[in-house]
């Protein structure tokens, strides 16, 4: 077990939650893993060993001793990996959809880090044994560009540039419906959704999050958007678009079934779009930054993957009906 158990206190928004569900949401674990920890005696509720189905009250004190993830969890694996640029200090990767960035309780291997360890001799150690070289992340089902650091000096410089908004990140997203204006700036704080802790939401007590939206293409019942980030909160683009009432097409967490709310002449088109979209339509298309060592301005582009380009082509009317 870990030497220093984590101590958590149940807040007002979580009263009535089951212990195993609450632990899963707060510790980024699967519910089965959270239940196993309770069964293994790794969890104490107000100083006593609880049942996994225990119902929580405000102010309950929970101690959790999670077994340490061993460094061996991040092993080198020969996985498909598209590297667009590599030098002595960093590399730029075009991550495929479906690949998790780094190992975690629910994803011990098969990640970008596992692939990097197979391809790259050295990575920055700042992220620890499970996140070597990782400067920023993309959601599992978001594809596109990431920069990875090979040494600690480069890692610190890139992280500082990210904080100072000196790294430009542009995404392409398809969103349901039509925005109220061609250009929008969304400034709305993001934190855990008090009603569903596995989700994020716009909440007053959240961390500041700013997203810039520009309509690139207007479709029958959706739009293709250029999306720029000032901040990098968890699920930021997906949360902000859902908050506006225009969730990302194919986003099962924040926009499941959204096409069923579209009526009129475009209703059938919307159902077809949902059926044709194989995963959330979100892709990191441009990454630009100044090289921390050489000072060179670097810009990388990754066009839409084939599966999303096919969807966009159909939406534009460029692909004939099957």
pLDDT confidence tier of residue 13, bands split at 50, 70 and 90: confident
> What does the pLDDT average to over 306-315?
97
139 is catalytic: yes
User: Hunting for tokens 């499970």 — which residue is that?
Assistant: 130
Is the model's pLDDT at 288 over the cut of 80? yes
Q: What is the pLDDT of residues 197-229, one digit of tens each?
A: 778 999 998 999 999 999 999 999 999 999 999
- Among residues 20, 60, 139, 193, the one annotated as catalytic is 139
DSSP one-letter code for 147:
E
pTM of this prediction?
Answer: 0.76
User: Hunting for tokens 């990754």 — which residue is that?
Assistant: 302
User: Percentage of the chain surpassing pLDDT 70?
Assistant: 93
Interatomic CA distance for residues 219 and 280, integer angstroms: 17
> What does the pLDDT average to over 110-122?
89
The dihedral through the CA atoms of 161, 165, 251, 174 has a sign that is negative
Asked whether 250 and 279 are in contact (CB, 8 A), the reply is yes
E strand or H helix at 199? strand 196-202
Residue 187: partners with Cβ closer than 8 Å, 6 or more residues away? 208, 209, 210
Query: What phi and psi, each to the nearest 5 degrees, are found at residue 265?
Result: -60, -25
């Amino acid at each position: 077990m870990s030497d220093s158990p984590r101590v958590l206190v149940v807040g007002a928004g979580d009263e009535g939650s089951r212990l195993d569900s609450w632990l899963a949401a707060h510790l980024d674990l699967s519910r089965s893993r959270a239940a196993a920890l309770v069964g293994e005696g790794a969890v104490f509720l107000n100083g006593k060993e609880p049942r996994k189905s225990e119902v929580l009250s405000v102010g309950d004190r929970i101690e959790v001793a999670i077994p340490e993830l061993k460094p061996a969890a991040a092993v080198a694996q020969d996985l498909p990996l598209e590297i667009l640029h590599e030098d002595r200090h960093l590399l730029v990767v075009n991550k495929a959809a479906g690949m998790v960035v780094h190992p975690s309780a629910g994803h011990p291997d098969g990640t970008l880090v596992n692939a990097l360890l197979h391809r790259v001799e050295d990575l920055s150690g700042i992220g620890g044994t499970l996140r070597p070289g990782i400067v920023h992340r993309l959601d599992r089902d978001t594809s596109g560009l990431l920069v990875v650091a090979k040494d600690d000096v480069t890692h610190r410089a890139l992280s500082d540039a990210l904080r100072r908004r000196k790294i430009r990140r542009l995404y392409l997203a398809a969103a349901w419906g039509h925005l109220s204006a061609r250009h929008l700036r969304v400034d709305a704080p993001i934190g855990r959704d008090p009603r569903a802790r596995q989700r994020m939401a716009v909440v007053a007590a959240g961390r500041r999050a700013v997203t810039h939206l520009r309509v690139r293409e207007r479709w029958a019942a959706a739009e293709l958007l250029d999306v720029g980030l000032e901040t990098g909160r968890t699920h930021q683009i997906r949360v902000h678009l859902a908050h506006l009432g225009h969730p990302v097409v194919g986003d099962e967490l924040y926009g499941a079934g959204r096409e069923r709310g579209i009526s009129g002449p475009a209703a059938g088109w919307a159902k077809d779009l949902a059926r044709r979209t194989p995963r959330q339509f979100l892709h990191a298309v441009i990454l630009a930054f100044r090289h921390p060592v050489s000072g060179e301005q670097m810009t990388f582009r990754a066009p839409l993957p084939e599966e999303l380009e096919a969807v966009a082509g159909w939406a534009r009317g460029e692909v004939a009906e099957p």
